[in-house]
Amino acid sequence: EDKVVQSPLSLVVHEGDTVTLNCSYEVTNFRSLLWYKQEKKAPTFLFMLTSSGIEKKSGRLSSILDKKELSSILNITATQTGDSAIYLCAVIVIQGAQKLVFGQGTRLTINP
C-alpha cells in the first residue's frame, strides 16, 4: 500500500521563526513529490520535485527531495501570520494509471 507520512502533524511558532516540515514516502513507482498549501479552501500548488538534491525556491519557501532517504522537506524562513495553513505533501504514483497520494498534512500556526 502506498503511504505518505508527514511530521509534525501540528506546529505552533512565533512570527519570524524558521520552520521545517517533513514528508516521507513509501510507494511503488514514484514519479514526483508535490507540496501544497491549504487555507480555507482547495489546496494551492507550491512545488513539484522530481530530481533528488535540487532545491526549489519561491520567496521564503524552499523544498528539496532526497530519493535515497525517500523524503522531502519544506522550509519556510521569516514566517508571517499569512503562512498559517495546512501544508500537504503528495506523491505521484504510476501504477498503470497515475494517482496522487497525500500525507495527513501539517497544520502550521504562526503567532504574532
Partner 1 sequence: DAGITQSPRHKVTETGTPVTLRCHQTENHRYMYWYRQDPGHGLRLIHYSYGVKDTDKGEVSDGYSVSRSKTEDFLLTLESATSSQTSVYFCAAWGVTGFFYGYTFGSGTRLTVV
Dihedral (CA of 41, 27, 22, 76) sign: negative
* Cβ-based nearer residue to partner 1, 43 or 79: 43
Interaction between residue 6 and partner 1 (CB under 8 A): yes
* Cβ-based nearer residue to partner 1, 6 or 72: 6
d(CA 87, CA 90): 10
Per-residue binder mask for partner 1 (CB under 8 A), 20-39, x = binder: --------------x-----
Name the H helices within the chain.
Answer: none
Q: Which of 14, 28, 42, 58 binds partner 1 (CB under 8 A)?
A: 42
**Residues from 89 through 108 that contact partner 1 (CB under 8 A):** 90, 96-105
Say which amino acid occupies 78: A
d(CA 68, CA 70): 6
Q: What are phi and psi of 82, to 5 degrees?
A: -70, -10
* Contacting positions for partner 1 (CB under 8 A): 1, 4, 6, 9, 34, 41-43, 45, 48, 88, 90, 96-105
